Amino acid sequence: MAIKSLRVRPRPDNLANQARQSQSLARRIYLGALVAGAGWIAYSVAGPLLLLAADGLVMQDREVVGAEYTAQVVSVSVKPGDRVAQGQPIASVVSTQMLDLVSDLETRLAQSQTRRLQIEARLGAIQSTLPSAERRAQDAEAAWSVVDKAGQKGFSTVTRRAELAHERYEAAREEASLRAERSSLVAELDTLAANRERLTAALDKARTAYRDGIIVAPVDGTVGARVASPGSVLRPGEAVADLHHGRKFVVAYVPTNRLYAIHRGDAVVVSDGATRREGRVERIEGLTDTLPGEFQPNFAAIERRQVIRVGLEDGTVFPLQAKITVSTPLAPANLIDKAQSLVVSAAAAAASVAMGRGHDPHVVVSRNDP
């Protein structure tokens, strides 16, 4: 007789209804880290070839304020970072070269003025004496005619004829001399007038350039880091100060080994790591001779990149000469930032709606409202 069990016991090696235990959380984290690491490596290698990512500097138009002559700085009334208006004095200089030039021009102009007065006085004297000289010549010519006819008939001596001939010659010579002197003085007066105009223009330019040694700002702007010290001697063209003016823009250096194209008007994102602002490509230039020192790789050959200029819609948030990154809006960091902005905006809108409903006296909230 066989012994039977009162109940069916499941076999320990064949559990038909037992569900397999899911993967552990640690394994999921590990696999996620592997995928993220592989993606980051792939983006680091292929990303710069496929998506725009370039280093750049925030710039402004620069105006070099200096003297066009050798001068010594007496005083400086501005400091780096000061805002200045057009025509505002920024420094005072003294130049012996310009003082000598202005003094020489003034002396020559005064001499020209004196000579003009002398010529005008002499012309007045000639104008007064010329009619008398003309009458004298006419009288001498008439007397010579009478004596000559008398001499032909034997009624005049040779001595008398010689005296009248001499008088006739002197009268004609005086008249001709006055006429020639008048013509010469009139021509000299015209030349002197043109010379005085040139001297006056040169003196005005010298005074305008020197401005009594006051150096003024040519435009509205901000004083740069380079400012001359009092007592320093400046050669022609050397800067007293640098003025940055106009709207800010970005000069970016794009790698040449890329698989994407850049066109004028393309939208980009400018970031300094903490702040992002939108911009557009304004100009595409050629290749640089050398990269700025802050972008040149260490222990590597001199690298050349293509230069682009990016206009900023709001450049006030970036300081001048700040190092920034120009990237495409499709870059992962920009997409994540955009998503965060949308989430924050949606949360703020929801909170605003909730607060509005809670404070609106016309809205009745019942106990059953969710």
Q: What's the rounded mean pLDDT across residues 143-150?
A: 78
Tokens of 111: 């001499």
| Selection from 270, 209, 219, 271 nearest residue 241 by Cα | 219
Q: What is the pLDDT of residue 366?
A: 43
Q: What's the rounded mean pLDDT across residues 45-55?
A: 81
- Angstrom distance (rounded) from CA 207 to CA 200: 10
C-beta of residue 290 within 8 angstroms of C-beta of residue 307: no
CA angle 64, 65, 67 (to 5 degrees): 120
| Selection from 52, 114, 113 nearest residue 281 by Cα | 52
Question: What number of helices (H) and strands (E) belong to the chain?
Answer: 4, 12
Sketch out the chain's domains with CATH numbers: 50-59+244-345 (2.40.30.170), 64-95+213-240 (2.40.50.100), 97-211 (1.10.287)
Mean of the per-residue pLDDT values of the chain: 83
Question: Which residues have CB under 8 Å from 248's CB, separation 6+?
Answer: 58, 59, 60, 312, 315, 316, 318, 320
Given a cut of 60, whether residue 15 has pLDDT beyond it is no
Q: Which residues pair with 310 in a beta bridge?
A: 250, 281
Q: How confident is the model at residue 79 (pLDDT cuts 50, 70, 90)?
A: very high
Given a cut of 80, whether residue 97 has pLDDT beyond it is yes
Q: How confident is the model at residue 360 (pLDDT cuts 50, 70, 90)?
A: low
Residue 161 CB neighbour total at 10 angstroms: 15
- Angstrom distance (rounded) from CA 94 to CA 219: 23
| Selection from 267, 228, 246 nearest residue 93 by Cα | 228
Cα 260 from chain centroid (whole Å): 33
Q: What's the rounded mean pLDDT across residues 39-58?
A: 82
- Read off the pLDDT of residues 214-264 as tens digits, 9 standing for 90 and up: 999 999 999 988 899 999 999 988 889 999 998 889 999 988 888 888 889
C-beta of residue 246 within 8 angstroms of C-beta of residue 218: no
- Angstrom distance (rounded) from CA 225 to CA 289: 25
Given a cut of 50, whether residue 365 has pLDDT beyond it is no
Question: Which residues have CB under 8 Å from 312's CB, separation 6+?
Answer: 58, 247, 248, 249, 250, 270, 277, 279, 318
Range from 54-63, 134-143, 267-276, 297-306 carrying the lowest mean pLDDT? 297-306
Given a cut of 60, whether residue 290 has pLDDT beyond it is yes
| Selection from 96, 53, 24 nearest residue 271 by Cα | 53
Q: What is the pLDDT of residue 92?
A: 92
| Beta-sheet strand order (sheet of 233-234) | 214-216, 89-94, 71-76, 233-234
pLDDT > 90 in the chain, percent: 27
Given a cut of 50, whether residue 364 has pLDDT beyond it is no
**85 exposed, middle or buried (CB, 10 Å; 0-12, 13-18, 19+)?**
exposed
- Angstrom distance (rounded) from CA 66 to CA 80: 16
Q: What is the pLDDT of residue 358?
A: 57
